Amino acid sequence: MSINSTKPYLIRSIYDWCIDSDFTPYVSVKASSDLDIPMEFVKDGEIVFNISAKAVHELIINNDFISFTARFNGVSTKLEIPLNAVRGIFAKEVNQGIAFSTDNGNDKDENQGRAIKGQKNTSIQHALKFQTKKTRKPNLRIIK
């Protein structure tokens, strides 16, 4: 009897938790030449996708891949990302989620999830810096 990988189940559970908590789910993907992804958005060998319902259409997270349609520079693109390329999934607002080991591409390592709470690896932190808007504190005054 073969044991299924826990990775797709963990990804779906963190995604559901993000949606239930009104957080924005982001997925971190290890970029490689065999993936059909927009390479102009790759930073340090990694690309981070917003996979919220507002950002993507036709999202499918099954046991083999994550598939969705998203717009990049105004062009609608269908992406299929194999789960072995997924490095982690996290909620943008609270920086909590799970990171997966990608050492040697070994299934044993792939099943090992590492929870991340309040700390981001540098590439995720770098991606968030470019994807968040700078907001100012509201300035209220009393007018008589």
Domain boundaries in the chain?
7-130
CATH class belonging to 7-130: mainly beta
Q: What are phi and psi of 65, to 5 degrees?
A: -155, 165
Alpha-carbon distance values, 125 to 32, 36, 90, 93, 129 (Å): 20, 24, 11, 12, 6
* Six-digit token string for 125: 């932190």
Alpha-carbon span 72 to 38, nearest angstrom: 8
pLDDT tens digits for range 83-104? 999 999 999 999 899 999 865 4
- At residue 129, the pLDDT reads 45
Q: Which residue type, as a one-letter code, is found at position 1?
A: M
- At residue 131, the pLDDT reads 44
pLDDT tens digits for range 47-81? 999 999 999 999 999 999 999 999 888 889 899 99
pTM above 0.85, yes or no: no
pLDDT at 135 > cutoff 90:
no
pLDDT tens digits for range 18-45? 999 999 999 999 988 888 888 888 898 8
- At residue 128, the pLDDT reads 46
Alpha-carbon span 110 to 42, nearest angstrom: 22
Q: What is the dihedral sign for C-alpha 130, 53, 12, 82?
A: negative
Angle (CA) 21-112-100 rounded to 5° is: 60
